């Protein structure tokens, strides 16, 4: 995520620049694409923004020799890329006006009706129609007109005035509003501009929806990352820093859920501010949306996050096998003859079960029934995954467990992609648009597996193979599969033979 979007600060405005589709996960309410394009030139007058763009350009367009590009050249190229729609620009709307509304004497907190001061450019600042909460919570339209200090004062008023209702009786919406307002005071001033995004009803609904996920996650002081599912999604959203930020975010959710006092809410606000300082509001929004997409999966991917069992922890510890010949040899072990049958029997019984398990009517043609196979089947001689070609011994439980761990991880990714596709369809997005974005997402996911120093080579190969440094283009996929729907199907398909061999799929 950090590689795909550049965040530029220009006065009190925040400009986002990214490739086609990179900004699509941001809620429309916080985008202002039209003004964003106009503001790019102004933003690039800042040396810091120019440095950010230069770094971004190296990654996004590696074929361009940056050392020969002056700042002026780069600015021209960026503007041309915007015109050609290779780059998209969005401008985050300000949270409060340049000139805060004059303080009213004696005003401590603003009631719903008292502060419809108008003049805000923020579309989230409205007529009070975003009323949240059932226990006297204030309206967003008023809150976002206030300075951070005023917002914090509002929270104090809410919790400290005589007769104030206890935090335990507050709705979750009200708690989150209070936490976000307190967090605004904790973050650097230049980051406060974008905090309105978190105050939107949609964002708060997202956070509430993710509270159950946070509660189920394995949030121990050092074991947070033990939850491979959450780790994977957070890492995909922005690397290790996003993992730390997601940790803070989820701890914040747990703290909100369990809050009994104002101090508890302050603690939650500190955690939220910590996440924002680490990856910015945009990063937090991206993580919320990613996890939300995950939670919409058919198997309830995130909602049903299980505490890792010993087996799953062991599987997570298994390093992904590499392609080298020596490592291929490592997985090619002689079968453990005495133990294998017992393990095989148990493994066979659980084939096709679990979160991603499915059943196939008949065995794939390249497999044959074999009671010695860990999951009851082994490849036919000479077929695709034949052990003689360096593939694992499919009768060796340890070797197959390694393969299975990779497959489960892969299926988690597929489930996320399928859930995302369904969400896009439900939102009325067209098949072509979904397919284009899916191709782009898969390319990004693929590239995330390489070290930075390896990327140049990958970009060059992709450019040669596909005419696109990031990987297959939508056009080439369409030429291969015929229709946008078929492109989507191809991107979300799994290999049945490999799934039967690793027990993800069971033969009827």
Partner 1 sequence: MNDVKEVLVADLDGGASVAVLDVESGIAHAGAVGGETPNGNMRVVLGNTVALYAEGEHLFLQIGGRRWDLADPATVISYGHDLNRKTTTLQVGDLRLEYPAWWRDDPAYDPFIPELDEDEDYLAYVYSVAQQPALQENLIKVWSAAATA
Q: Select 97 or 390, whichever has its Cβ closest to partner 1.
A: 390
Q: Select 46 or 384, whichever has its Cβ closest to partner 1.
A: 384
Q: Select 433 or 495, whichever has its Cβ closest to partner 1.
A: 495
Q: How far is the CB of 86 from partner 1 (least distance, A)?
A: 15
Residue linked to tokens 């049958």: 341
3-state secondary structure 108-159: CCCCCCCCCCCCCCCCCCCCCCCCCCCCCCCCHHHHCCCCHHHHHHHHHHHH
Q: How far is the CB of 347 from partner 1 (least distance, A)?
A: 16
Asked whether the beta carbons of 176 and 207 are under 8 A apart, the reply is yes
Q: How far is the CB of 384 from partner 1 (least distance, A)?
A: 4
Nearest Cα to Cα of residue 4 among 282, 383, 215, 207: 282
- The phi and psi torsions of 350 (rounded to 5 degrees) equal -95, 5
Contacts of 182 (CB under 8 A, 6+ apart): 151, 152, 155, 265, 266, 269
Asked whether the beta carbons of 293 and 236 are under 8 A apart, the reply is no
CA distances, 380 to each of 39, 363, 399, 501 (Å): 62, 12, 18, 12
Q: Select 98 or 493, whichever has its Cβ closest to partner 1.
A: 493
Q: How far is the CB of 315 from partner 1 (least distance, A)?
A: 12
Q: How far is the CB of 157 from partner 1 (least distance, A)?
A: 54
Q: Select 208 or 414, whichever has its Cβ closest to partner 1.
A: 414
Q: How far is the CB of 19 from partner 1 (least distance, A)?
A: 18
Q: Select 33 or 64, whichever has its Cβ closest to partner 1.
A: 64
Which chain residues interact with partner 1 by CB under 8 A? 320-323, 325, 328-329, 366, 382-386, 389-391, 402-403, 406-407, 410, 446, 449-451, 454, 457, 464-468, 471-473, 475-476, 478-483, 486, 489-490, 493-495, 498, 502
Q: Is 431 helix (H, G, I), strand (E, B) or coil?
A: helix
Q: How far is the CB of 502 from partner 1 (least distance, A)?
A: 7
Q: Select 158 or 440, whichever has its Cβ closest to partner 1.
A: 440
Given its phi and psi angles, is residue 3 left (phi above 0), alpha (psi -120 to 50 degrees) or beta? alpha
Cα 429–chain centre separation: 20
């Amino acid at each position: 995520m950090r590689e795909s979007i550049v965040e530029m600060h220009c006065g009190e405005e925040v400009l986002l620049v990214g490739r086609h589709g990179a900004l699509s996960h941001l809620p429309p309410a916080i985008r202002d694409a039209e003004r964003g394009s106009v503001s790019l030139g102004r933003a690039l007058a800042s040396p810091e923004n120019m440095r950010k763009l230069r770094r971004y350009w190296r990654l996004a367009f590696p074929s361009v020799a940056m050392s020969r590009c002056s700042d002026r050249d780069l600015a021209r190229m960026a503007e041309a890329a915007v015109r050609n729609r290779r780059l998209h620009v969005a401008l985050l709307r300000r949270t409060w006006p340049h000139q805060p509304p004059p303080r009213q004497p004696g005003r401590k907190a603003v009631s719903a009706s008292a502060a419809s001061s108008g003049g805000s450019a923020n579309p989230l600042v409205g007529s009070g129609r975003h009323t949240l909460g059932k226990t006297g919570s204030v309206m967003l339209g008023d809150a976002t007109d206030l300075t951070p200090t005023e917002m914090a004062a509002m929270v104090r008023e809410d919790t400290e005035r005589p007769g104030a209702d206890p935090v335990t009786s507050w709705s979750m919406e009200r708690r989150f509003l209070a936490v976000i307002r307190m967090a605004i005071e904790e973050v650097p001033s230049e980051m406060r501009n974008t905090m309105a995004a978190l105050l939107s009803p949609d964002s708060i609904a997202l956070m509430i929806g993710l509270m159950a996920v946070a509660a189920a996650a394995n949030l121990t002081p050092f074991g947070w990352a033990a939850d491979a599912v959450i780790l994977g999604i957070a890492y995909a959203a922005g690397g290790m820093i996003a993992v730390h930020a997601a940790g803070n975010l989820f701890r914040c959710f747990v703290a909100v859920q369990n809050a009994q006092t104002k101090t508890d809410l302050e603690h939650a606000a500190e955690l939220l501010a910590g996440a924002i300082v680490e990856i910015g509001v945009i990063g937090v929004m991206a993580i919320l949306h990613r996890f939300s997409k995950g939670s919409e999966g058919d198997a309830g991917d995130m909602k049903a996050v299980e505490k890792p069992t010993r087996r799953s922890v062991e599987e997570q510890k298994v390093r992904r096998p590499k392609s080298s010949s020596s490592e291929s040899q490592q997985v090619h072990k002689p079968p453990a003859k005495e133990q294998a049958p017992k393990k095989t029997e148990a493994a066979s019984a659980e084939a096709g079960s679990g979160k991603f398990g499915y059943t196939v009517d008949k065995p794939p043609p390249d497999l044959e029934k074999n009671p010695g196979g860990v999951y009851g089947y082994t490849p036919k001689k000479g077929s695709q995954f034949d052990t003689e070609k360096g593939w694992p011994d499919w009768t060796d439980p340890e070797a197959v467990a390694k393969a299975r761990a990779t497959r489960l991880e892969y299926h988690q990714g597929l489930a996320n992609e399928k859930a995302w596709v369904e969400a896009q369809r439900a939102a009325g997005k067209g098949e072509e648009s979904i397919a284009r974005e899916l191709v782009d997402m898969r390319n990004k996911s693929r590239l995330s597996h390489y070290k930075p120093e390896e990327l140049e080579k990958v970009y060059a190969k992709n450019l040669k193979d596909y005419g696109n440094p990031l990987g297959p283009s939508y056009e080439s996929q369409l030429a291969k599969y015929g229709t946008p729907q078929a492109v989507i199907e191809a991107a979300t398909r799994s290999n049945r033979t490999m799934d039967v061999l690793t027990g993800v799929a069971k033969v009827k």
